[in-house]
Amino acid sequence: MEKSEIGRNFFIPMPVVLVGTQVNGKANFMAVGWCSRANPTPPMILCGIANAHHTPKGIATTETFSVNVPSAALVEKTDYCGLVSGNTVDKSGVFDVFYGTLQTAPMIRECPVNLECRLVQTIPLPTHMIFIGEIVGAYADEGVIRDGKPDYAAIDPLLLTMPDNRYHRLGEHAGDAWSAGRNLVQQAPGA
């Protein structure tokens, strides 16, 4: 099949999270799409955040941050936290805030899942910083736990596509990971 040039800012759906920080003693939350697991043991997560935002100030001074997973029902407040900056607007009252073992990583009670992180590494890029944090606490609402595990359908996370800038919800189950390819493993040369 012929390939067409599509521009270099395309990517497949990304998670939408709210990164929480404390700046000058006040909680602040920003929407983040560039977020990923980074290391399994100890568990680490990374976020790509523009230098000009308010959030990097809080991460730099407290060396902590939180990653909160909003459900689709929180789309309006989530988008708001991506539209306005703590540089000019006080976002500390947007959500009900709680703290875990780290006393400087504000978390959002309304979000079904919350991770509190201790900064372990910062990687500077031309306009953004990659903040890598170790997850020191992970919390979920009892209502989204099924058989002892967080249930993704109940969490109902938001996904982001760019550059069309749209939010989506989870689609259909397409197969099981580390399992769907097993027949091919058995047929592999040298198996």
Ligand X SMILES: Cc1cc2nc3c(=O)[nH]c(=O)nc-3n(C[C@H](O)[C@H](O)[C@H](O)COP(=O)(O)O)c2cc1C
CB of 88 to ligand X, least distance (A): 8
> Measuring CA to CA, which residue among 48, 83, 40, 82 is closest to residue 65?
48
List strands edge to edge, sheet with 159-162: 11-15, 159-162, 166-168
Handedness of CA 98, 146, 46, 63 (dihedral sign): positive
Question: Per CB under 6 A, does 139 bind ligand X?
Answer: no
> Measuring CA to CA, which residue among 4, 5, 54 is closest to residue 32?
54
Which residue lies nearer to ligand X by CB, 99 or 167? 167
Runs of H (alpha helix) within 8-151: 55-62, 75-83
CB of 148 to ligand X, least distance (A): 31
Question: Per CB under 6 A, does 100 bind ligand X?
Answer: no
CB of 116 to ligand X, least distance (A): 18
Runs of H (alpha helix) within the chain: 55-62, 75-83, 152-155, 182-187
CB of 61 to ligand X, least distance (A): 13
Question: Per CB under 6 A, does 30 bind ligand X?
Answer: yes
Peptide bond into 126 cis (omega under 30): no
Binding mask 57-96 for ligand X (x = CB under 6 A): ----------------------x--x-xxxx---------
158, 18 in Cβ contact below 8 A? Answer: no
Part in contact with ligand X (CB under 6 A); list of ranges 4-12, 31-39, 98-106, 172-180: 31-39
Among 13, 26, 38, 50, binds ligand X (CB under 6 A): 50
Contacts with ligand X, residue ranges (CB under 6 A): 16, 28, 30-34, 48-50, 53-55, 79, 82, 84-87, 128, 160
